[in-house]
Structure 1
Amino acid sequence: MNRKNYQTGSPWEPIVGYSRAVRVGNVVEVAGTTAMKDGEVLGVGDAYAQTAAILHTIREALEHVGAKMEHVVRTRMFVTDISRWEEIGRAHGEVFRDIRPVATMVEVKALIEPELLVEIEVQAIVPEENTELDSISEHSRIIKC
């Protein structure tokens, strides 16, 4: 079975030792993703904007390993202020309203940067007819398991 790792080029990936997304067979896991780009927090103070930015990054990661948002079966949302659940839920719902993955939202004490309000990780299962890993992003690498 092949393993496909996708890295975004973040300087933290080799230091911490992680990939943005990993695909093994037809299962894809996307690491906890925040609203950061080039070291800057996007949507400071705006939970909706941060969630929308995160879901955009997750969409790109899924596409790099041959998956789509409609393949997502689980989302986990870590939020620093649960009272803002409606803002976060609205952005989540705009993407997943018709897909309906199982979802969890929990409040955490803090994220890696104080301005970050939301972190999301997802799991996707690609239909069997899409399990071939050829022609997947050059930002990925295949590891034989």
Structure 2
Amino acid sequence: MTKKQVATKKAPGAIGPYSQAIVAGNWVYTSGQLGMDPETAELPGSVQEQARQSLNNVKAILEEAGASMDQVVKTTVYLKDMNDFAAVNEVYSTFFTEPYPARSAVEVARLPKDALVEIEVVARKK
């Protein structure tokens, strides 16, 4: 199976030895996206703002790969504090429609750049 790297300036660049996403066949696998602004590399203050920017980053990467948010089949949400689950859900629900993707949400001890949320997705291209 061949794999193709996905890279766009509309989302923050990789800060290590990994790709923003990989396309393998008809599948797109994104790396976890922090809520960093791609132009300033800054993280907004609230978990809602970070979740919104994280999902906007995911959307930009998927579009670069030839996919869209409605083709996402699985997401993983990493939270610094599970008490932020409801706040992230509010933002998350504005990016997806039914049937919603399958999802895992986990609390982690720490995220890169001390972010509050990180989101990764798997999508199937048409």
- TM-score, shorter chain, exceeding 0.5: yes
CA distance in 1, matches of 2:97, 2:86: 14
| Residue in 2 that maps onto 1:112 | 112
Question: What is the Cα deviation at residue 11 of structure 1?
Answer: 6.2
Change (3 A) 1:126 1:78: same
**Displacement, 1:39?**
2.7
1:76 aligns with 2:76: yes
CA distance in structure 2 between the aligned counterparts of 1:39 and 1:68, rounded to whole angstroms: 23
The residue number in structure 1 matching 2:35 is 35
Larger Rg: 1
Q: CA deviation at 1:36?
A: 1.3
What SS does the aligned partner of 1:28 have?
Answer: strand
Which residue is 1:17 aligned to? 17
Letter in 2 for 1:117: L
- Secondary structure of the residue aligned to 1:88 is helix
**4+ long deviations beyond 6 Å:** none
Gaps of 5+ in 1: 128-145
Structure 1 pair 11–33 and aligned structure 2 pair: CA distance change class (3 A): closer
Task: For residues 78-118 of structure 1, give each alpha carbon's deviation from its aligned partner in whole angstroms, at most 9, with x where no partner exists.
Answer: 0001011101011111111334000111000011112x100
Structure 1 position 4, deviation (Å): 2.0
Q: Tell me the matched-pair count.
A: 121
- Structure 2 residue runs of 5 or longer lacking an equivalent are none
Q: Does 1:98 align with 2:107?
A: no
Identical counterparts, % of pairs: 30
Map Cα deviations across residues 1-27 of structure 1 (whole Å, 9 max, x no partner): 542211246262xxx221101111100
TM-superposed CA distance for 1:77, in Å, is 0.3
Asked if structure 1 preserves the Cα contact closer than 8 Å seen for 2:8 and 2:64, the reply is: no
Quick check: 2:7–2:19 contact (8 Å CA) kept in 1? yes
**In structure 1, distance between residues paired with 2:99 and 2:123:** 11
Residue 99 to residue 49, structure 1, CA distance change in 2 (3 Å): farther
- Per the alignment, do residues 11 and 119 of structure 1 end up closer, same or farther by CA in structure 2, a change over 3 Å counting? closer
Stretch deviating more after TM superposition (1-10 or 24-33): 1-10
- Which residue number corresponds to residue 52 of structure 1? 52
**Which structure has the higher relative contact order (CA within 8 Å, separation 6+)?**
1
CA RMSD of aligned residues (A): 1.5
The amino acid that maps onto 1:125 is R
